[in-house]
């Protein structure tokens, strides 16, 4: 069994951050989103993993993630020259996949739960495909499945105006090698892409056994700022372990579940968990509220931050107004003039310099 993780695309919904980096490398609780998927696959016993990358961000993904040894896996990188659809990504990965059954995992998705049981069911029952479904309040924004009483998938519709159900396709699929026949026979959609939903429908139309499994637990697609902040909140809530590895002075307090990285210093600060502060950070005269992730080498002075993600090397100084629901890019610098706002919601790209006046 192999796995294929899709880590290409242009990440337009997370711009300006994704002008300079891959969306799958944006951190959630100080770990790249992509790595959660790799870890989930390895935990399920799949260690032969292909990662589809784009020309724009592929080098960064490769440099950051490496050959897979840190995860106990072997990673092969597969270049997709243009974002021509999920089925197209499978097509360019066919030399890696060969005739092996595989899991396709969208690299900007996070799910709760264990893939091992799903994987075992797929392998033992000789299915053509298994799709994961999750009920959503806005099915018109997703690929949606119509499922029979026996669990077999009857029909898939991409972003329907009149949805046949509220069951959206989660970005994790189990396929046998027959999916390659389907992809070879379908045509690009109206938006010019080879759609994986069309390939699965091809299987259904030919009476291949395609079954659905409803996901138990949460599913998060981190393609937009608010979704990424929600993913950060959920991961901090469910997985963060307390560890104070840095220095906390006598005037500082860290309450609740807080992780403070090595070489970091809190000077006259209050940190209320769940919150994580990376390594070699300097925080002075700050309030860090719950659901905040601060990456390595960040400098915060006179700042009040809550429910936000601050990327590596960023600095925020002299901003007494509260920063909430914000995403601040790598090496970005935020300062303020004497007249200060009461609260801010920000999305600041890498290497930006902003002065509030």
Closest CA relative to residue 173, chosen from 128, 142, 227, 138: 128
pLDDT at 171: 87
More confident residue, 266 or 120: 266
What residues does 27 pair with on adjacent strands? 32
Question: pLDDT tens digit string along 21-60?
Answer: 577 888 999 999 999 999 999 999 999 999 999 998 899 9
CB 138: neighbour CB atoms within 10 A? 9
| pLDDT above 70 for 343 | no
User: Where residue 295 falls among pLDDT bands split at 50, 70, 90?
Assistant: very high
| pLDDT above 80 for 336 | no
More confident residue, 215 or 12: 215
Percentage of the residues of the chain whose pLDDT score is greater than 70: 90
> For residue 143, what are its two tokens?
């690929």
pLDDT at 353: 59
What value, to the nearest 5°, has the Cα angle with vertex 261 and ends 290 and 11?
65
Region(s) of the chain under CATH 3.90.550.10:
2-223
Range in 31-35, 217-221, 299-303 the model is least confident about: 217-221
> For residue 251, what are its two tokens?
């005037």
Q: Which of 39-48, 104-113, 346-355 has the highest mean pLDDT?
A: 39-48
Return phi, psi of residue 251, to 5°.
-90, 0
Range in 169-178, 180-189, 241-250, 347-356 the model is least confident about: 347-356
Q: What is the pTM of this model?
A: 0.86
More confident residue, 228 or 277: 277
| pLDDT above 60 for 326 | yes
More confident residue, 208 or 114: 208
Provide the angle, in degrees to the nearest 10, between the axes of the packed helices 225-239 and 33-43. 50
pLDDT at 356: 59
Closest CA relative to residue 4, chosen from 33, 38, 45, 32: 38
User: Where residue 198 falls among pLDDT bands split at 50, 70, 90?
Assistant: very high
Region(s) of the chain under CATH 2.160.10.10:
240-356
Mean pLDDT of the chain: 88
| CA pair distance 198, 200, nearest whole angstrom | 5
pLDDT at 172: 92
| CA pair distance 43, 144, nearest whole angstrom | 28
Percentage of the residues of the chain whose pLDDT score is greater than 90: 56
pLDDT at 341: 53
| pLDDT above 70 for 15 | no
| pLDDT above 50 for 14 | no
pLDDT at 337: 58
For the chain, what is the HEC assignment?
CEEEEEECCCCHHHCCHHHCCCHHHCEECCEEHHHHHHHHHHHCCCCEEEEEECCCCHHHHHHHHCCCHHHCCEEEEEECCCCCCHHHHHHHCHHHHCCCCEEEEECCEEECCCHHHHHHHHHHHCCCEEEEEEECCCHHHCEEEEECCCCEEEEEEECCCCCCCCEEEEEEEEECCCHHHHHHHCCCCCCCCCCHHHHHHHHHHCCCCEEEEECCCCEEECCCHHHHHHHHHHHHHHHCCCEECCEECCCCEEECCEEECCCCEEECCEEECCEEECCCCEEECCEECCCEEECCCCEEEEEEEECCEECCCCEEEEEEEEEECCEECCCCEEEECCCCCCEECCEECCCCEEEEC
| pLDDT above 80 for 84 | yes
Per-residue pLDDT averaged across 125-142, rounded?
88
pLDDT at 12: 46
pLDDT at 5: 96
| pLDDT above 60 for 65 | yes
Strands 299-306 and 287-288, by their bridges, are parallel
CATH of domain 2-223: 3.90.550.10
Return phi, psi of residue 257, to 5°.
-85, 110
For the purposes of burial, counting CB atoms within 10 Å of the CB of 282, is it exposed (0-12), middle (13-18) or buried (19 or more)? middle
Per-residue pLDDT averaged across 91-110, rounded?
94
CATH of domain 240-356: 2.160.10.10
| pLDDT above 60 for 19 | no
pLDDT at 329: 87
The answer to whether residues 61 and 14 touch, using CB atoms and an 8 Å cutoff, is no
| pLDDT above 90 for 109 | no
| pLDDT above 70 for 9 | no
> For residue 160, what are its two tokens?
């329907």
């Amino acid at each position: 069994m192999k796995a294929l993780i899709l880590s290409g695309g242009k990440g337009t919904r997370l711009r300006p951050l994704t002008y300079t980096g891959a969306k799958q490398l944006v951190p959630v609780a100080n770990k790249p989103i992509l790595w959660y998927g790799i870890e989930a696959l390895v935990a399920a016993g799949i260690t032969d993993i292909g990662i589809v990358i784009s020309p724009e961000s592929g080098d960064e993904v490769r440099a950051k993630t490496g050959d897979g040894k840190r995860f106990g896996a072997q990673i092969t990188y597969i270049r997709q020259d243009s974002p021509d659809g999920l089925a197209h990504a499978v097509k360019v990965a066919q030399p890696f996949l060969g005739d092996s059954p595989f899991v396709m995992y969208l690299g900007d998705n996070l799910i709760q739960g264990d893939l091992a049981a799903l994987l075992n069911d797929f392998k033992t029952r000789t299915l053509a495909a298994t799709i994961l479904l999750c009920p959503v309040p806005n099915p018109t924004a997703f690929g949606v499945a119509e499922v029979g009483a026996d669990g077999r998938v009857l029909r898939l519709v991409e972003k329907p105006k009149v949805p046949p159900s509220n069951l959206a396709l989660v970005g994790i699929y189990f396929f046998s090698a027959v999916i390659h026949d389907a992809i070879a026979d379908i045509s690009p959609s109206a938006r010019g892409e080879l759609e994986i939903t069309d390939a699965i429908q091809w299987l259904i139309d030919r009476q291949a056994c395609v079954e659905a499994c409803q996901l138990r637990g949460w599913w998060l697609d981190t393609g937009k700022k608010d979704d990424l902040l929600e993913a950060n909140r959920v991961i901090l809530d469910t997985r963060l372990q307390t560890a104070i590895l840095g220095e906390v002075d006598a005037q500082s307090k860290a309450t609740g579940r807080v992780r403070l990285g090595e070489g970091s210093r809190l000077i006259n600060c209050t940190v209320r968990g769940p919150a994580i502060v990376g390594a070699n950070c300097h925080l002075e005269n700050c309030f860090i509220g719950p659901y905040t992730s601060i990456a390595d080498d960040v400098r915060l002075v006179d700042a009040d931050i809550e429910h936000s993600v601050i990327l590596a090397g960023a600095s925020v100084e002299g901003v007494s107004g509260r920063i909430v629901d914000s995403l601040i890019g790598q090496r970005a610098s935020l300062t303020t003039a004497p007249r200060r706002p009461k609260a801010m919601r920000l999305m600041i790209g890498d290497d930006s310099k902003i002065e509030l006046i």
